[in-house]
Structure 1
Amino acid sequence: MAASARSVLNRLIQRAARPKRSRKPSSSSSRTVIRRHLDSGDLPKTIAALSSSPAPFPTSLYARLLRLCSSKRSLVDVRRVESHLVAFNPSPSTFLLNRTIEAYAHCGSPTDARELFDEMPKRDGGTWNAMIVAYRCSDCPDEALALFSTMNGSGIHPKDVTLASVLGCCGDLLALLLARQIHCLVLKYGYFPNVILDTSVVDVYGKCFAMDDARKMFDSIIDPNDVSWNVIVRRYLEAGKAREALLMFFRMIRGGVKPLSFTVSNALIACSEALALKEGHQIHSTVIKAGFEGDNIVGSSLMEMYAKCGVVQDARQLFGQVPSKDVVSWTSMLSGYATCGRIDEAEKLFDEMPEKNVVSWNAMLAGYVRFFCLDEALDLFCRMRETIEIDLVTLGLVLNVCAGMSDLDRGKQVHGFSYRHNSGSNLFFSNALIDMYSKCGCLRNAEVCFRMVSRRDTVSWNSLISGYARYCRSEEALAAFSEMQFETTPNELTFSIALAACANIFMLEHGKQIHAYMVRNGFELDVIIRGTLVDMYSKCRLIEYAMRVFEEESFRDLILWNSMILGCAYNRRGERSLELFEEMRKEGIAADNVTFVGVLLACISEGYVDLGRRYFNLMSDEYGVIPRVEHYECIIELLGIHGFMVELEDFIQRMPFEPTIPMWTRIFDCCREHGNRSLGERAAKCINKSNPINPVQFEILERTELDTKKEAHHL
């Protein structure tokens, strides 16, 4: 194995102490041979000719040879060139040593590059830049930033290329504070305006999700080029702001800048996420005008856009027009079918694919997961393990399956597999892991996984907060919601979970603050948020606020109607509940089982016994809703609390199942109140059968005790 840079220099020092033998100068023929091999790109013959010539060569030859080694990614040959350079040049030029550092970087050996850097007797700005770039290219951003700090502390003036590399490292590490400091250095050293550096600043702010700063910086660029536009479009897309990405794309087109193919692809992905079919058609026209029709990446993005926007036939037509379909084209069409729920067609296309990669398998798996075909997803995963090497996206999707099936044991197995293969640092996988543990009720494990994620995003926090809320730990959910705001920005889902937690523990003031925050900061109060607000205000006994939210001019779905009907019923506004039910019927919205719970509760609060019985019968006769346990409980309450004991006894006889213990307990109380001994004793017998340790005995209540119970029930 070739010696490292340090060992090469050590041998040279030892050689310098030995008596020197006279050498013949290298002949012009040796240089001619080397140039000929360089021109033909034959690296082995060039290195062989170099090794057989014990004489120095011109700087241009060494530089060309190092470039050839870099292009071939031949680390061994870079070491040989360096050995020849330092052996036959008493004082190798800093320029050539800098090029050697760059060659080591291209060949993926920052260790060799750093050893040479440390041994260099003289360094210039290019040396520092070459080493920083070497670390950046080798995915060592921490070392690059540490070296830049040493360089800056030594008073060495960084070049614009150095600052661009350092800004890229800040983006890799999401080091927003440090990026702002580097931005200040850019201004301090007078590099403004500089389109390359300015674009790098936009890029790092976008990667750190500081999109307001990124936009301000972009708007300050006097003449942004196609790369600058590509950066701002892509960063808006990655920040979940698809509409803004599209606005910037069309602004670029109006400005007469020809987009890169990647920019067009990102704009089409933004159309897919925003379901912006009209804008997608416009971008399709741009694709034709700009001559991108033959670009596979753009074509695949077009197919995916049409499929995700529901125009699957257009996507299929484009797919049929592709002359030479590659795996990307097949996968895009497959993903389109899977995303819009056409699973059968996705399966057929998947089976027809001549070649599949892990992305293709994951697209099919994601389709199964998205539409809750969980058994099929597990079968596909088993086939994947036998066919192809799975990745973290695969494992994350399998964790989603485990969460959907509440299969904690299988989820733990996936977690263990990822731990054994050192693959748990991916954010998508980490979020899926938190979500799986949260949905399976293993909140302790979810907390541990959450704390181990170094760069948490909104999805990470939402998974943990929803886990707390789902398992009635509302105080912890709200505490996590408050802590989240110091680290990232909540979204509509976060607010929905937090408002539900407020409703569960009747924290009205906290719920009001969340509502006000959303209004002040321009968040969209969609139908889901409005339903949660109605539920929160109703449970906190502020029904007027709930009505105000409900009556806003906007779309109202069944869930929102149900929330308002139930809210009025719980707040003893039964008449208003029944009015809302009739309004809902007139708007053509079909009631479900939850609606009828609210209607029956309204009848209970208003004492409408006959109307309640009529609605109960209409459930199955007119609406096709099969009565559930909660509906039978409502009728028992309705008949019992208002003293219709004969009708209650008849209703119990006609029930398709034996009353539950809570039902018998309510019947028992009503019989004591209204003096129905036979039914009351039957209820007592059933209660005592299920709980013989604490038996009850039927006794008709005295008048004073009866008044007390009525008052308590009213409260």
Structure 2
Amino acid sequence: MFVHFKSLVFELSKLNQTLTRTKSFHALLIKTCIFHDPFYSTKIIRFYASNDDLTSARHLFDETPNRTVYLWNSTIRAHAQTHCFHDAFTLFNQMLASETNPDHFTFACISRACADTHDLKSLRFVHAVVIVSGLGMDSVCGSALVSAYSKLGLVGDARMVFDGLNDRDLVLYNTMIAGYGSCGNWEKGLHLFNAMRRMGNQPDGYTVVGLLSGFTQSNLLEIGQGVHGYCLKNGFDSNAHINSMLVSMYSRCSCMISAYKVFNSLSHPDLVTWSALISGFSQSREYRKALILFKKMSCFRKPDSILMATLLAATAQMAVLASGVEIHGYAIRHNLDSDTMVSSALIDMYAKCGFLEFALKVFDQMPKRNMVSYNSVIASLGLYGLAHEAFNVFREAVERDLKPDESTFCGLLSACSHGGFVNEGRDIFTRMDADFGIKPKTEHYVHFVKLIGMAGELEEAYNIVWSLGDDVDSGVWGALLSCYDAHNDSRLAEVVARRVFDKQRDRSAYKVMVSNFHAGNGRWDDVKKLRDDLDYVGNKKVCGISWIGI
């Protein structure tokens, strides 16, 4: 009888086990009085979990008296996979108190859960239990811990775990290289990639994907091309996953010709690859190409909320309402308009296209709001100089126990700057650190310096900039110089510009600005000298353009 049922279970495992079939099989086992056998309970729990019926899975687990490690693992994994992390941790602690010892699969599952919940304290506890259990040298546990620490940004801790393992297989190397990639530490990832090759470990597709994920800056293009050459030399060019990552890498490095060439080599690009290419064109300011690609993609793939937000951002930069409205309609037809990320992008798009009332209407109709959506409204109101309205939205967000972030205060300070609300701006600048623990960054200083300087407090604005020390961003200096320009104080502007010329590598923008000051005061010899200097070093000011979309 038992042999017959076990063979039946194995056969059922091969089928598409629907919830109805699972319940029927469960009823059959109850009828034959063997449903308390942990072997069958484990299988049924897995069937229930695969059909998202966690209640039935947990009920069966609670009724099973003799719980094996496989039964515990199946139940913990079922809760973790459905993001019921609290229940997964509770079960793990109950398992530790039981007579059943966790194995490496238990620790791997619970480590991933710690990473998914960004729970460093629990991860350190799990790591300690792994060591106490004698599994500190186990490769499965090691890979899981390396991955978890990397996802939490603790790549140094991940490397300590990696270095402590004697048996480093390909999976472990891949995990560590991917950890470096996720943290943007491409140099150490590349060094480990070369070290594993010297040790005789042959990289596979996952190794290359993890390595390429760290190349996020345009100055890494040459190294990325070298890795691409390695792929071609070793026959990885037919791997769709690698080609997808190459598209992403070239897009992030703003090399859209190569990105498009690799993309065209794919017979069935997935949504991630389409999104990488479209985002690349958008970030390279080739917005029309991004929109054309989206229209092509929509014939094959349904976009997700991230891609929709990217497209709306591109439309906002173009300030073409028609395209934005078209994308809005597409989002409504595909039930993506209620997504918080899409709604926030819609608010930004409508505001930058000159239709603030539409932006506010989208905000009012949002079923769920987070700080990102509030930031979008605050920034939009600030763009129109409606500082008091922006303050009201800010207060509403705080009253709803949402935590303001750096973008929140950028929007508020921008609103004060556009509206000329000096006292309110001072108060906001003070509160962001005192009340919310957010240290001012470059963007905040740009808005604050411009607010103070435009109000005529030029000396105070100068002292603020000078208090920042040597590493002052060019944007802050630009804000200060624009204030001197507005108040026609060419003497101080020249003093500041002279200091900037000594500290900043890219001086062309400042020289153009100072040249304009001199022109306004009729100092044409000084204007000619600065302009000739710009021509000599090959710098040209990009002409401004305006257009109206009909």
> Which TM bucket (shorter chain)?
0.7 to 0.9
1:236-255 equivalent positions in 2, closer than 5 A = 238=151, 241=153, 244=154, 246-255=155-164
Contact 2:348 2:377 in 1 (8 A): yes
Distance 2:532 2:50 in 1: 71
Q: Which runs of 5 or more residues in structure 2 are unaligned?
A: 535-539, 546-550
Distance 1:489 1:125 in 2: 53
In the alignment, which residue of structure 1 is the partner of 2:22? 113
Cα deviations across residues 622-644 of structure 1 (Å, max 9, x unaligned)?
55659999xxxxxxxxxxxxxxx
In the alignment, which residue of structure 2 is the partner of 1:203? 112
Distance 2:172 2:362 in 1: 38
Residue 254 of structure 2 corresponds to residue 329 of structure 1: no
Counterparts in 2 of 1:462 and 1:444: CA distance versus 1, 3 Å: closer
Residue 262 of structure 2 corresponds to residue 345 of structure 1: no
Contact 1:565 1:595 in 2 (8 A): no
Counterparts in 2 of 1:292 and 1:499: CA distance versus 1, 3 Å: farther
1:494-643 equivalent positions in 2, closer than 5 A = 494=408, 496-501=410-415, 505=421, 506-516=424-434, 527-532=442-447, 534-535=449-450, 544=460, 547-548=463-464, 550-553=466-469, 555-566=471-482, 576-587=492-503, 588-592=505-509, 596=513, 600=517, 610=521, 623=534
Distance 2:69 2:398 in 1: 41
1:282-301 equivalent positions in 2, closer than 5 A = 282-289=191-198, 293-301=202-210
Contact 2:461 2:480 in 1 (8 A): no
CA deviation after TM superposition for structure 1 residue 590, in Å: 1.8
Alignment counterpart, residue 403 of structure 1, candidates 316, 332, 355:
316
Q: State the AA in 2 paired with 1:66.
A: V
Distance 1:510 1:61 in 2: 73
Cα deviations across residues 553-589 of structure 1 (Å, max 9, x unaligned)?
4533321212334467789997654421211123354
Kindly indicate whether structure 1 or structure 2 has the higher relative contact order, using CA contacts under 8 Å at least 6 residues apart: 2
Cα deviations across residues 468-514 of structure 1 (Å, max 9, x unaligned)?
54444431453366368x56784x54554455456564242332232
Distance 1:570 1:476 in 2: 30
Cα deviations across residues 253-298 of structure 1 (Å, max 9, x unaligned)?
2112555656644544554455433212222124425655341221
Distance 2:161 2:500 in 1: 47
CA deviation after TM superposition for structure 1 residue 109, in Å: 0.8
Distance 1:502 1:216 in 2: 47
Residue 58 of structure 2 corresponds to residue 148 of structure 1: yes
Counterparts in 2 of 1:174 and 1:70: CA distance versus 1, 3 Å: closer
In the alignment, which residue of structure 1 is the partner of 2:548? none
Q: State the AA in 2 paired with 1:478.
A: F
Which TM-score applies when normalising by structure 1?
0.59
In the alignment, which residue of structure 2 is the partner of 1:70? 13
Distance 2:92 2:465 in 1: 45
Counterparts in 2 of 1:144 and 1:274: CA distance versus 1, 3 Å: closer
Counterparts in 2 of 1:163 and 1:517: CA distance versus 1, 3 Å: farther
Distance 1:134 1:194 in 2: 22
Counterparts in 2 of 1:546 and 1:268: CA distance versus 1, 3 Å: farther
Alignment counterpart, residue 376 of structure 1, candidates 285, 289, 297:
289
Contact 1:234 1:263 in 2 (8 A): no
Counterparts in 2 of 1:397 and 1:599: CA distance versus 1, 3 Å: closer
Counterparts in 2 of 1:394 and 1:188: CA distance versus 1, 3 Å: same
Q: State the AA in 2 paired with 1:508.
A: R
Contact 2:247 2:262 in 1 (8 A): yes
In the alignment, which residue of structure 2 is the partner of 1:474? 390
Distance 1:438 1:162 in 2: 55
| SS of alignment partner, residue 237 of structure 2 | coil
| SS of alignment partner, residue 325 of structure 1 | helix
Contact 1:468 1:474 in 2 (8 A): yes
Contact 1:304 1:332 in 2 (8 A): yes
Q: State the AA in 1 paired with 2:210.
A: S
Distance 2:516 2:127 in 1: 56
RMSD: 4.7
1:95-114 equivalent positions in 2, closer than 5 A = 107-114=16-23
In the alignment, which residue of structure 2 is the partner of 1:59? 2
Distance 2:73 2:368 in 1: 31
Contact 1:343 1:368 in 2 (8 A): yes
| SS of alignment partner, residue 372 of structure 1 | coil
Distance 2:102 2:323 in 1: 56
Q: State the AA in 2 paired with 1:350.
A: F
Contact 1:495 1:529 in 2 (8 A): yes
Distance 1:281 1:368 in 2: 27
Q: State the AA in 2 paired with 1:323.
A: G
Q: Which runs of 5 or more residues in structure 1 are unaligned?
A: 1-57, 74-106, 630-715
Distance 1:554 1:190 in 2: 62
Distance 1:198 1:277 in 2: 28
Distance 1:265 1:443 in 2: 45
Residue 196 of structure 2 corresponds to residue 280 of structure 1: no
CA deviation after TM superposition for structure 1 residue 368, in Å: 0.8
Distance 2:343 2:75 in 1: 28
Alignment counterpart, residue 127 of structure 2, candidates 199, 218, 232:
218
In the alignment, which residue of structure 1 is the partner of 2:301? 389
Percent identity at matched positions? 15
Cα deviations across residues 650-697 of structure 1 (Å, max 9, x unaligned)?
xxxxxxxxxxxxxxxxxxxxxxxxxxxxxxxxxxxxxxxxxxxxxxxx
In the alignment, which residue of structure 2 is the partner of 1:679? none
Distance 1:562 1:556 in 2: 11
| SS of alignment partner, residue 511 of structure 1 | helix
Contact 1:334 1:364 in 2 (8 A): yes
Counterparts in 2 of 1:547 and 1:213: CA distance versus 1, 3 Å: farther
In the alignment, which residue of structure 1 is the partner of 2:537? none
Structure number with larger C-alpha Rg: 1
Distance 2:264 2:469 in 1: 48
Residue 50 of structure 2 corresponds to residue 137 of structure 1: yes
Distance 2:528 2:543 in 1: 9
Q: State the AA in 2 paired with 1:148.
A: R
Counterparts in 2 of 1:334 and 1:585: CA distance versus 1, 3 Å: same
Counterparts in 2 of 1:466 and 1:420: CA distance versus 1, 3 Å: same
